[in-house]
Amino acid sequence: MNGIDLTIIWAGIIAFSIIIYVIMDGFDLGIGILFPAFKVGDDRDAAMNSIAPVWDGNETWLVLGGGGLLAAFPLAYAIILPALYAPIIAMLLGLVLRGVAFEFRWRDPAHRARWDFAFTAGSVIATFAQGIALGALLQGITVQGRAYAGGWWEWLSPFSILTGFALIAGYALLGCCWLIWKTEGGLQRQCYSYAGRLGILLLFAIMMVSIATPFLEAKYYERWLSYPGIIATAQVPLATFIISFLYFRSLSKKQEAAPFFYALGLFGLSLVGLGISMWPDVIPGRVTIWQAAAPYDSQLFMLIGAGIMVPIILGYTGWAYWVFRGKVGTEGYH
């Protein structure tokens, strides 16, 4: 395979894993964020049932993305991990708390209120930590030589807090739209009413992050606001406006599946914007994907494994969603 740039292929695999993770775990984290807004009893049980068969499988993509970063871009992993220890540990603890609460609320009904609180707390913590980690990476990491050279709290800034809250709004919107698709009756009507306000909140968050981002790095400013690059990058906010219009129109027409896919479209455009800002850096302004890449032979060996495992994961994930398609009820899967 000499002549083929495996570094770009691995960057694509990791980007694909992150995109699939955001799509699949985003909506079930969003249901956890919205959980206190639902009535105790049937509504909460139905919300849980809508993700019960798939929530743990959704997190497979987070493992694949993190493992792939370690194996294919070890220098980037060695720099990013110490820079983001606090938000990454918080994210993992939030996911653990959420997973434990998910299982125990069905088997320990006497303390269900506590497990419901833990489910929400874990979902909010995990989401907020992911948003902060993204913001901290985008704003830049201090690097000297081949190592992280910043302090313990470098990740904490007004911008990273903004991206943390923006991701909470985004995941809550995905969870709301997922429940519109998967439920009916009072819970579905409640989610229709929330989806409009959450859509406005997410668009406001996207606008604030978009205004702040060009001023984080000179390269960001040049790509987004300098001529002639602005002719191409302006298509992203234009597409965001069109998808937003289609999203709100689908809500007004009481469509069930369309709002979820339009919400995914907004997430996809945000990720496109992230790619425009960062490419080809894995640590913005410091390390490119080629500088961080593992040796060619290592990438080739791992690519064979990925070529076997990724289709298997896609296969069993698709099968799970197909088996549990349709509306959900209040009877538990556990």
What domain range is 229 assigned to?
6-324
* Encoded tokens for 35: 């959980």
332 inside domain: no
Backbone angles phi, psi at 50, to 5 degrees: -65, -20
Which pLDDT band, with edges at 50, 70 and 90, does 334 fall under? low
223 inside domain: yes
Range with the poorest average pLDDT among 31-35, 114-118, 218-222, 226-230: 226-230
168 inside domain: yes
Instruction: Tell which wins on pLDDT, 330 or 295.
Output: 295
User: 136 with 93: CB under 8 angstroms?
Assistant: no
25 inside domain: yes
Our count of domains for the chain comes to 1
Q: How does pLDDT run across 236-271, given as a tens digit for each residue?
A: 999 999 999 999 999 999 999 999 999 999 989 998
1 inside domain: no
Range with the poorest average pLDDT among 165-179, 187-201, 223-237, 305-319: 223-237
> pTM of this prediction?
0.92
Tell me the average pLDDT across 16-33.
90
Tell me the average pLDDT across 151-173.
94
| pLDDT number for residue 333 | 56
Averaged pLDDT score across all residues of the chain: 90
Q: Is 299 left (phi over 0), alpha (psi -120 to 50) or beta?
A: alpha
Position 25 pLDDT exceeds 90:
no
29 inside domain: yes
User: 175 with 33: CB under 8 angstroms?
Assistant: yes
Q: What is the percent of the chain where pLDDT is above 90?
A: 55
333 inside domain: no
Q: Which helix (H) or strand (E) holds 224?
A: helix 218-225
Residues 76, 37: Cα–Cα separation, whole Å: 40
Position 1 pLDDT exceeds 60:
no
Tell me the average pLDDT across 167-190.
94
Which residues fall within 8 angstroms of residue 229, CB to CB, at 6 or more apart?
A: 222, 223
Q: Is the dihedral of CA 155, 161, 162, 165 positive or negative?
A: positive
Nearest by Cα to 65 from 26, 12, 8: 12
